[in-house]
Chains A and B, each alone.
Chain A
Amino acid sequence: MLDYLNTIPGALNLAFIWCIAGIGVYITFKILDIPDLTVDGSFVTGAFVFAVVVTNGGHYLLGMLLGFVAGLLCGLITGLLYALLGIPPILSGILTQLALWSVNLIISSNRSNISISVRNFDVMFSQINVYDTLWKVALIAAILIGVLYWFFGTQLGCSIRATGNNSKMSKAHGINTKFNVVLALALSNGIVALSGAMLAQYQGFADINMGRGAIVICLSAVVIGGLIFSKFAKNFAVRLSSVIVGSIIYFFIYQSVIFFGLEANLMKLLTAVVVAIFLGIPYIRRTYIARIQKFHDNQKMKRGG
């Protein structure tokens, strides 16, 4: 039991780090209503940029900042593919993601793995000191939510919300929807890359494969959180915070099944299943469960009840 409890801070750390990527995905998936697949690439880009900066003697804050900027550029490319060439956003994302595989290797000078050991480099937090990490990552998540709450409360932010909601109406009211989509995609991927930089820092290495399935993990955080908060979350900050809750739940499931002996290789399968279930719940509720209810009601009526 004590062993299990000991895994909790680590799970929370991962949850907070990934929830930042989740918040990035929230911007595209929920606000813009575009599933952006660039994420799998930009997450690694953030990590590699951070690793390269820090291993070359740069400050960790500079590394995180440059990681964020690199992510912005990734999103910008996806956005421009959509806005200038008219490629559907989901395909633009896939193209950028594919291209980023090579770009990431260029950034890392053809190394598929860069180690950022705490002993050699000054970093903000690491796996070795889980409790110290916890408040730092939680603080970063909180600051990010604060900043986004401000941003989406401004005129520009709200015009992005309108763009995702009804682009026909937005255009008719003078909103430059293409610009807004590009901006939101860039912002989203910047945040995702920041999360990648944080994960590299936390686990002590950046790996070319660390972004595989990142979009699904982020989606699981967004979807689980959204489902739990759907009933009572009206405020935008609360809805953003729901991603944290979703992320924490996901990583508790993750840590638990690992702890109780599930092979790590099966995790991707499990993640996909979890996301599929949570994505499907609203539909199941709407159709199957509603039908069972209806069936019972009708039976009652037939019996004259």
Chain B
Amino acid sequence: MLELKNIVKYFNKGTPSETIAINHLNLQIKPGDFVTVIGGNGAGKSTLLNIIAGSVEADSGLILLNDVDMSFVNEHKRAPYFGRVFQDPMSGTCADMSIIENLTIAYGRGRPRTIFKWFLQRKDMDYFTQQVKSLDLGLENRLNEKVGLLSGGQRQAITLLMATMRQRPSEKVIKRDYVRFCETDKAHAKEAVNLAFLEAKKAKKDSIKELKQKGLSKAERQVELEKINTAYEKAISEYDLTKQILLLDEHTAALDPKTASKVLEITEKIVDEHQLTTIMITHNMKDAIRYGNRLIMMSRGKVVVDVSGEEKKKLTVEHLLNMFQVASKDDAMSDSAILG
């Protein structure tokens, strides 16, 4: 669960142009929620996402992820928990690197990057191809092309893929987070996870030993080895609590209507598939109503409307605009003009 408590963020604090971007904001997001965020320009939507992801530091307030305070954790260390897609299609990918290289960078999220391993691993290629194929954009034939040559929509689709795919984090991180996110008996949790990992490792070692004695053919051995590895991965992954939260910052704003709807379709598909907790900022009221199970409206750095479940399903665009005007009387005129 992601919880924001009393977040305050000023821009240009202490100068005549001081503005408050986030004003004592409180928000709770449950696992599996798909939250759409709407609000006028300057309402603090993007700042909110930046604060969650760590690229902007809040002046005060707590960011709790499974009850652990993340507000002093650096952006790159928060990366295993958050996948991001930006408004600008150029921001989410490395233009000078190929699709494969970009995917490989994303795939290494939450893992140490050392000089002891080659960057491109042949064993991952099939998986990447299959993932890119699932986008249904015909990009699987252009995997070695530079991302800079792709269109904005294609780049956003790739970025979405990058934001959502990753391997399990390293064992060290899994262990640490299992203990960190454990609510009650931390010492006990530490013991349990250490024991489980030891057992998994021992099981793997034993089965490999057994395999060697069996005297199978090379192909058969390969299959068996893969099985052992899968079992090991499964045992380890059970302790992986670093469930991802997807942060989408108006990721379709720079795209034409057709491409935008295509990218949204892909978004929905990926979110459903991985059961991701998602926060999506949008300027399109229809999209805000159509997608997700919860809708929040922001104004002047505060959540002014928060509807979910059945209530959200009944919303209409007009209804929403009315709510917006009621919620923010002073700047409603200009904002509704922008949002209309």
Number of A-B contacts (CB under 8 A): 90
B91 touches A175 (CB 8 A): no
1/0 contact string of A164-185 vs chain B (CB within 8 Å): 0110111111111100000000
How far is A159 from B114 in the complex, measured between Cα atoms in Å? Answer: 9
How far is A269 from B93 in the complex, measured between Cα atoms in Å? Answer: 40
A168 touches B95 (CB 8 A): no
Given the known interface contacts A155-B113, A158-B104, the answer about A172 and B75 at a Cβ–Cβ threshold of 8 Å is: yes
Q: Which stretch, B61-69, B78-86, B208-216, B251-259, touches the partner chain A?
A: B78-86
Query: Which chain A positions have C-beta within 8 A of B91?
Result: 166, 168-169
A173 touches B116 (CB 8 A): no
For B163, give the chain A residue with the smallest CB separation.
Answer: A172
> Does A259 have its Cβ within 8 Å of any Cβ on chain B?
no
Query: Which chain B positions have C-beta within 8 A of A173?
Result: 79, 105-106, 108-109, 162
- CB contact between A158 and one of B55, B74, B92, B119 (< 8 Å): that residue: B119
How far is A154 from B108 in the complex, measured between Cα atoms in Å? Answer: 12
Q: Determine the main DSSP class of A at the interface with B.
A: helix
A154 touches B79 (CB 8 A): no
* Most A Cβ at <10 Å: residue of B86, B94, B116, B162: B94
- CB contact between A165 and one of B83, B96, B113 (< 8 Å): that residue: B96
A155 touches B108 (CB 8 A): yes
> Does B77 have its Cβ within 8 Å of any Cβ on chain A?
yes
How far is A39 from B80 in the complex, measured between Cα atoms in Å? Answer: 36
B114 touches A156 (CB 8 A): yes
How many whole Å from B254's CB to the nearest CB in chain A? 15
How far is A31 from B219 in the complex, measured between Cα atoms in Å? Answer: 42
Query: Which chain A positions have C-beta within 8 A of B117?
Result: 154-155
With A165-B97, A174-B77, A174-B110 given, name 13 new contacts (CB 8 A).
Answer: A151-B115, A156-B115, A157-B119, A159-B105, A161-B97, A165-B95, A166-B93, A169-B94, A173-B105, A174-B108, A175-B76, A175-B105, A176-B76
> Which A residues form the contact surface with B (CB < 8 A)?
151, 153-159, 161-162, 165-166, 168-177
> Which B residues form the contact surface with A (CB < 8 A)?
53, 55, 74-77, 79-80, 82-84, 86, 90-97, 101, 104-106, 108-111, 113-120, 162-163
